């Protein structure tokens, strides 16, 4: 009896499954027909690849207000993998309509003809952004390849309590930073003032920007590549010397070991970007309220410069059938006050638009001891300088990881590692056929 | 006599003729699957490996990037790249370690479990086999955390330093693979008629003697098989170094040949040279595994 009943149940389930499958099948053509006949009036459907947390909530607000343009969020992992995935999808002919594009990856997207020119659609939005960040989406050309979303001006995060404990001042110059590193390590050999991460080329690029580096530039119809310029070599040699001396550690950022060192107070500073609080609060929850921010140490006393680490924009795929609608959404997301408010609150994003930065008033919970956190950030942000990214940043960044992995492990010459990055970049561009200026 | 012979021959020919398409019909599903999932992808990889992109000017804007025929340039670059061969060297060292340790341990465990005196055989067998059920990424992460000096309960040793990293990686592979190989050998041993051992004991052989002179010779074909499988798996090593890489700066993005393929295809975005390198790797692993089979064929399978 039991077997029979089981069999019956199985048959019932199968039948149900089959009938729904069939009805699903029969539904589809009619639905398609409907959308085809009503194409001009029906809602435009857009897909959006992003890794901003809670973006679905922000998009829900848009969808509610715009029944004719419906956006679906597809959450991505972020980082280099996301860029590779988008390039592959664009090549295969099925990219999303909208994609979150880190500034340094945008030239690769443009070179692969994967993103659309939004010049006409963004004519009004231009006024909302500073010149520096706008340059990152035009690449110095007449076209506009994305709408800026967030930016990452760099500043120095430091453990206020431990600075007092070890009796050091907040370093104003990199020389003072080096001195502080020696002092701290001498007082407790297990503690370091900071660490040099061979896994984060974006961080190194930001520090080089602060020193005035220009890794790529366009002169006429040719690329000029200067990853090994004087400023970059200076930055590399500075850190290389400290690593060799043993007063700066060589553990990479964002690893379990790094988290532990932050939590245990074994690392006292982190030269990072404005998005740092999110990372610190999740990776080093124990140290809440003990960190503070200051401007990056300067190369020459009295100077006032910073660089950018990270930051991204919203781009529209070249193959999207609904470019105008996608551009409208991208503009709303990054310039509308309501959207900016949501980006700040739900997405923990530091908006690139001037209006958005003005909305940042309440310090992040992790920095409740520093109520002027955002004022500091805005002041520092105004001093940050970037550079044009080239069309093969992925090659340069990969060369950074391999060369500096080795240099840190062997405590060898960091300037040679920079030369390795330059050589790999130039070799790759030459192989592809880019015109290079000498 | 002659007439019957020709008759028979004619009959046979007629039979084969009548069979006609039937054998091909039986073969069709396998051939179709092979074509779809093996021949076509391989063909496409070869096609890709013969092409490259050419950029003009700044490479920005429409039509600045075109795909062109490259001849054998990608192969020349793949074979001429020192990193690939350095990768092979690293994998060779790693592979020798893994093969010797893993298969040696598997053989010892199988022989021990097969002796008459062992207690708790089932439990032991399962606990040796169990690591094989842990996915490679999970196993590597678990070991990775054990290797990190500040998190490890194993003390402040730098298991991921340049000197030790190969051993640490081999340890993960041995931990994960020994159980499977042991089970293959052990199952083979259980199929051996017990009379052999009785006869040997009556002749005064010790357990060790039985193991060395009866069991191991009987096992040679399965040892050969497990070796070939392990060689192929080692040549393809990718999961362990890729998973450990973010934790240390002693593993480069081209540590093993397959990692180089991954880097070319998905990090630096050059699908074409990645295709060429994979064809080179496939060729080398074919040579390695068939070469090994050829060398041991006579001993293992008694073929001439």
The answer on B208 and B272 residing in a single domain is: yes
- CB-based burial of residue A24 (10 Å sphere; 0-12 exposed, 13-18 middle, 19+ buried)? exposed
Residue B282 domain-assigned (yes or no): yes
Architecture of domain A153-307+375-432: 3-Layer(aba) Sandwich (3.40)
Element (H, E) at A392: none
Query: Which pLDDT value is given to residue B299?
Result: 64
Annotated domain spans of chain A = 44-151+310-365, 153-307+375-432
B150, B249, B250 member nearest A261 (Cβ)? B150
Write b or e for each residue in B184-206: b if 16 or more Cβ atoms lie within 10 A of its Cβ, otherwise e.
Answer: bbbebbeeeeeeebeebeeeebe
The answer on B207 and B90 residing in a single domain is: yes
Residue B109 domain-assigned (yes or no): yes
Q: How crowded is residue B127: how many other Cβ atoms within 10 Å of its Cβ?
A: 11
Lowest-confidence range among A33-47, A153-167, A207-221? Answer: A33-47
Q: Is the pLDDT of residue A374 over 50?
A: yes
**Tens of pLDDT along A193-247?**
999 999 999 999 999 999 999 999 888 889 999 999 999 999 999 999 999 999 9
Map residue A306 onto helix, strand or coil: strand
Residue B168 domain-assigned (yes or no): yes
Query: What are the φ/ψ torsions at residue B104 (nearest 5 degrees)?
Result: -60, -50
Structure tokens at A143: 């076209």
- CB-based burial of residue B24 (10 Å sphere; 0-12 exposed, 13-18 middle, 19+ buried)? exposed
Tell me the angle at which helices B121-129 and B82-114 cross, rounded to the nearest 10 degrees: 170
Q: How far is A107 from chain B (nearest CA, A)?
A: 8
Query: Which pLDDT value is given to residue A319?
Result: 93
Query: Is B251 within 8 Å of chain A by CB?
Result: yes
- CATH of residue B254: 1.10.3720.10
Q: Is the pLDDT of residue A19 over 70?
A: no
Residue B60 domain-assigned (yes or no): no
Q: Is the pLDDT of residue A38 over 50?
A: no
Euclidean distance between CA atoms A217 and A226, whole angstroms: 8
pLDDT (mean) for A319-331 = 95
The answer on B278 and B132 residing in a single domain is: yes
Mean pLDDT of chain A: 87
Query: Which pLDDT value is given to residue B207?
Result: 85
Q: Is the pLDDT of residue B86 over 70?
A: yes
Map residue A38 onto helix, strand or coil: coil
CB contact at 8 A, A284 and A255:
no
Query: Is B56 within 8 Å of chain A by CB?
Result: yes
Chain A 252-281, CB below 8 Å of chain B: which residues?
Answer: 252, 254-257, 260-261
Q: How confident is the model at residue B152 (pLDDT cuts 50, 70, 90)?
A: confident
Residue B75 domain-assigned (yes or no): no
The answer on B262 and B124 residing in a single domain is: yes
Structure tokens at A101: 């594009």
Structure tokens at A160: 């206020």
Residue B57 domain-assigned (yes or no): no
**Domain total of chain B:** 2
Residue that the structure tokens 């678990």 belong to: B142
Query: Which pLDDT value is given to residue B7?
Result: 44
Query: Is B24 within 8 Å of chain A by CB?
Result: no
With a pLDDT cut of 70, the percent of chain A lying above it is: 90
Q: How confident is the model at residue B5 (pLDDT cuts 50, 70, 90)?
A: very low
Nearest CA to A322 among A120, A126, A70, A91? A70
Euclidean distance between CA atoms B179 and B189, whole angstroms: 15
Residue B70 domain-assigned (yes or no): no
Domain A44-151+310-365 part of CATH 3.40.50.2300 = no
pLDDT (mean) for A391-412 = 93
Query: Residue B146: its chain A contacts at CB < 8 A?
Result: none
Q: Is the pLDDT of residue A116 over 90?
A: yes
Query: Is B239 within 8 Å of chain A by CB?
Result: no
Lowest-confidence range among A230-239, A256-265, B155-164? Answer: B155-164
With a pLDDT cut of 70, the percent of chain B lying above it is: 90
Map residue B164 onto helix, strand or coil: coil
Euclidean distance between CA atoms A151 and A334, whole angstroms: 12
Bridge pairing between strands A69-75 and A44-50: parallel
Q: How confident is the model at residue B18 (pLDDT cuts 50, 70, 90)?
A: low
Q: How many CB pairs under 8 A join A and B?
A: 102
- CB-based burial of residue A264 (10 Å sphere; 0-12 exposed, 13-18 middle, 19+ buried)? middle
A84, A221, A256 member nearest B151 (Cβ)? A256
Q: Is the pLDDT of residue B48 over 70?
A: yes
Q: Is the pLDDT of residue A18 over 80?
A: no
Query: Which pLDDT value is given to residue A35?
Result: 39
Chain A interface, mutation test: which of B52, B249, B263, B267, most A Cβ atoms within 10 Å? B249
Q: Is the pLDDT of residue B198 over 50?
A: yes
Euclidean distance between CA atoms B59 and B48, whole angstroms: 21
The sign of the torsion formed by the CA atoms of B277, B278, B279, B280 equals positive
Bridge pairing between strands A216-219 and A222-225: antiparallel
Domain containing B258 equals: 81-301
B64, B249, B263 member nearest A198 (Cβ)? B249
Per DSSP, what are the bridge partners of residue B127? none
Lowest-confidence range among B60-69, B91-100, B218-227? Answer: B60-69
The answer on B239 and B153 residing in a single domain is: yes
Euclidean distance between CA atoms A269 and A261, whole angstroms: 11
Q: How confident is the model at residue A183 (pLDDT cuts 50, 70, 90)?
A: very high
Q: Is the pLDDT of residue A98 over 50?
A: yes
CATH fold match for the domains A44-151+310-365 and A153-307+375-432: yes
Mean pLDDT of chain B: 86
Q: Is the pLDDT of residue B105 over 60?
A: yes
Structure tokens at B39: 């021949």
The answer on B172 and B28 residing in a single domain is: no
- CB-based burial of residue A58 (10 Å sphere; 0-12 exposed, 13-18 middle, 19+ buried)? buried
Structure tokens at B198: 């009785």
Nearest CA to A226 among A361, A422, A28, A70? A422
Q: Which residue has the higher pLDDT, A357 or A437?
A: A437
The answer on B170 and B114 residing in a single domain is: yes
Euclidean distance between CA atoms A415 and A233, whole angstroms: 5
Residue B283 domain-assigned (yes or no): yes
Q: Residue B65 and residue A143: Cβ atoms within 8 Å? A: no
The answer on B160 and B16 residing in a single domain is: no
pLDDT (mean) for B247-262 = 92
Lowest-confidence range among B9-23, B67-81, B185-199, B251-265? Answer: B9-23
Q: Residue B267 and residue A80: Cβ atoms within 8 Å? A: yes
CA–CA distances in Å: residue A406 to residues A208, A212, A414, B147, B249: 20, 26, 10, 19, 7
């Amino acid at each position: 009896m039991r077997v029979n009943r089981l069999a019956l149940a199985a048959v019932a389930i199968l039948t149900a499954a089959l009938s729904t499958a069939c009805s699903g099948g029969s539904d589809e053509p009619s639905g398609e027909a409907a959308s085809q006949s009503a194409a001009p009036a029906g809602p435009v459907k857009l897909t959006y690849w992003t890794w901003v947390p809670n973006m679905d909530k922000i998009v829900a607000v848009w969808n509610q207000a715009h029944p004719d343009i419906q956006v679906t969020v597809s959450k991505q992992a972020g980082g280099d993998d996301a860029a590779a995935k988008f390039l592959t999808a664009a090549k295969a002919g099925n990219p999303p309509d909208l994609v979150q594009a880190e500034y340094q990856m945008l030239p690769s997207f443009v070179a692969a003809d994967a993103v659309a020119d939004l010049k006409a659609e963004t004519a009004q939005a231009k006024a909302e952004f500073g010149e520096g960040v706008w340059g990152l989406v035009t690449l110095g050309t007449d076209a506009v390849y994305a709408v800026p979303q967030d930016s990452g001006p760099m500043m120095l995060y430091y453990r206020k309590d431990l600075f007092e404990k070890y009796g050091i001042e907040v370093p104003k110059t990199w020389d003072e930073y080096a001195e502080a590193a020696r002092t701290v390590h001498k007082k407790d050999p297990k503690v370091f003032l900071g660490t040099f991460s061979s896994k984060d080329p974006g961080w190194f690029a930001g520090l080089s920007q602060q020193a005035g580096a220009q890794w790529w530039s366009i002169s006429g119809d040719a690329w000029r590549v200067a990853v090994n310029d004087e400023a970059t070599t200076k930055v590399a040699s500075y850190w290389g010397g400290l690593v060799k001396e043993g007063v700066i550690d060589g553990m990479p950022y964002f690893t379990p070991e790094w988290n532990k060192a932050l939590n245990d107070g074994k690392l006292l500073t982190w030269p990072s970007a404005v998005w740092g609080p999110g990372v610190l609060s999740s990776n080093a929850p124990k140290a809440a309220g003990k960190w503070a921010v200051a401007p990056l140490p300067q190369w020459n006393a009295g100077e006032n410069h910073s660089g950018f680490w990270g930051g991204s924009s919203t781009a529209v795929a070249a193959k999207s059938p609904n470019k105008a609608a996608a551009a409208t959404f991208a503009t709303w997301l990054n310039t509308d006050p309501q959207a900016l408010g949501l980006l700040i609150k739900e997405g923990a994003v530091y908006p690139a638009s001037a209006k958005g930065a003005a909305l940042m008033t309440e310090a992040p919970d992790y920095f409740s001891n520093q109520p002027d956190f955002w004022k500091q950030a805005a002041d520092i942000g105004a001093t940050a300088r970037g550079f044009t990214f080239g069309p093969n940043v992925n090659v340069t960044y990969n060369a950074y990881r391999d060369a500096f992995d080795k240099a840190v492990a062997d405590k060898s010459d960091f300037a040679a590692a920079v030369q390795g990055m330059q050589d790999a970049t130039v070799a790759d561009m030459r192989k592809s056929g880019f015109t290079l200026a000498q | 006599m002659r007439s019957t012979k020709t008759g028979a021959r004619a009959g046979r020919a007629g039979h084969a003729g009548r069979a006609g398409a039937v054998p091909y019909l039986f073969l069709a599903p396998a051939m179709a699957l092979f074509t779809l999932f093996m021949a076509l992808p391989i063909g496409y990889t070869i096609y890709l490996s013969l092409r490259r992109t050419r950029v003009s000017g700044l490479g920005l804007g429409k039509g600045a990037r075109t795909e062109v025929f490259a001849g054998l340039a990608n192969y020349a670059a793949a074979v001429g790249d020192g990193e690939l061969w350095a990768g092979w060297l690293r994998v060779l060292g790693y592979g020798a370690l893994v093969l010797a340790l893993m298969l040696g341990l598997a053989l010892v465990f199988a022989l021990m479990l097969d002796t008459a005196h062992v207690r708790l055989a089932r439990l032991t067998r399962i606990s040796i086999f169990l690591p094989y059920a842990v996915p490679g990424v999970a196993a590597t992460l678990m070991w990775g955390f054990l290797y990190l000096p500040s998190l490890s309960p194993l003390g402040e040793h730098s298991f991921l330093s340049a000197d030790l990293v190969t051993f640490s990686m081999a340890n993960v592979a041995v931990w994960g693979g020994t159980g499977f190989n042991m089970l293959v050998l052990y199952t083979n041993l259980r199929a051996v008629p017990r009379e052999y051992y009785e006869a040997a004991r009556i002749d005064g052989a010790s357990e060790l003697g039985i193991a060395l002179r009866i069991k191991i010779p009987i096992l040679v074909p399965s040892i050969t098989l497990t070796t070939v499988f392990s060689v192929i798996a080692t040549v393809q090593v990718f999961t362990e170094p890729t998973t450990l890489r973010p934790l240390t700066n002693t593993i480069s993005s081209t540590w093993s040949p397959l990692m180089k393929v991954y880097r070319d295809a998905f990090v630096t975005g050059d699908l074409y040279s990645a295709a060429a390198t994979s064809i080179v790797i496939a060729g080398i692993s074919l040579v390695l595994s068939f070469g090994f089979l050829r060398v041991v064929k006579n001993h293992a399978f008694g073929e001439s």
